[in-house]
Structure 1
Amino acid sequence: MFFIGVFGIENKNEEIVTLNNLSCKRCNKAIDGKLIKNFDFFHFFFIPLFKWNETYYITCESCNMLYNISKEKGKAIEKGEDVNITYWDLQEMENDFYNDDYSSKDICPTCGLSLDKSFKYCPNCGQHIK
């Protein structure tokens, strides 16, 4: 959302790192998963000034299941600390939140902006949405 084009509030998904040897509850096997940070931020002339509502998710690269993890573990991984993510740390997301598939939602594959279903091009970067 923009106010006068100079400053505004936006929501963003940021891929942090790919984690190895996670145990997916749906696949029931060891997989790689992407750690994704979702947050709201206030910006002034496209410079982010502060963030809030930070949440961390892991997506299974095999079945695209989306799992929520604790904010403490997500921040520790983001800082580069060696954190062990267990089967019990992965909390399945509600089906209506991301429709079980992070990659099938209307999110720009280039910049990560959440998009309306009617968009054919990303208004942020101009990427064609398939």
Structure 2
Amino acid sequence: MVLRPEHLTQPTLQPFLMACRQEISWFTKLETLVLMGWQVLRGRSTTSLRVWVRELTESGFPEFVRFAVGLDRDFDAVQAATETSWSNGQVEGQVNRLKTLKRSMYGRAGLNLLRARLLYQPVR
């Protein structure tokens, strides 16, 4: 199961989260950063991406600091991904399909068969 923000309101998870908040001193800070990140990256927050990256950098968690450095390295692309509805999913799907076909054909047949399989379009 992938943990999502809406799962945090489930009654079975609440006692566990409360125990973590009470027993682990840094848990609340970590939880706040993760929830803020979910909201920022989904475009549902008034907090800017720049503020969240700064919070990650100053958090003191080495994993978050490294993540923030990676986000900052390509900040414009990350910001565009959070602010626009554009996606390159179709392109990535076609690239994946072509690479899979190429790997499956490696060493088996000539260029003509590979070309035929790559250009084949099933009838709908």
- Tell which has more relative contact order, 1 or 2 (C-alpha 8 A, sep 6+): 1
Whose helix proportion is higher, 1 or 2? 2
Q: If the length of structure 1 is used for normalisation, what is the TM-score?
A: 0.21
Larger radius of gyration: 2
Would you tell me which structure has more strand in proportion to its own residues? 1
TM-score, scaled to structure 2 = 0.21
